Amino acid sequence: ETGADGKVGIVFLDGSTFSISTNGIFTIDELIFNPTLGTGSSVLHVTIGIFTYASGEIAKSGDESSTITTPVATIRIRGTTIIGKIGPEGSDNVITLLRDEDGHLGEIAIITSAGERLVSAPMESYSLTSRDSSLEDTRVIDQNEFNRIFGNDVQIIPSQPAQDSAQ
The least confident of 41-50, 117-126, 136-145 is 136-145
Which are the contacts of 82, defined by CB distance < 8 A and separation ≥ 6? 52, 53, 68, 75, 95, 96, 97, 98, 108
Provide the residue type at 16 as one letter: S
Q: How confident is the model at residue 152 (pLDDT cuts 50, 70, 90)?
A: low
pLDDT of residue 166: 44
- The string of pLDDT tens digits covering residues 141-150 is 999 999 999 9
Report, as an integer, the average pLDDT of 89-101: 94
Q: How many helices (H) and strands (E) does the chain have?
A: 2, 12
What is the pTM assigned to this prediction?
0.89
H or E segment and range at residue 116: strand 115-119
Closest by CA to 50, choosing from 161, 166, 148, is: 148
3-class SS of residue 60: helix
User: Of the given ranges (6-10, 51-55, 112-116, 163-167), which has the lowest mean pLDDT?
Assistant: 163-167
The residue among 58, 57, 149 whose CA lies nearest residue 96 is 149
Give residue 79's pLDDT: 86
Q: What is the pLDDT of residues 23-49, one digit of tens each?
A: 999 999 999 999 999 899 999 999 999
Phi/psi-derived region of residue 38, left when phi > 0, alpha when psi is between -120 and 50, beta in every other case: left
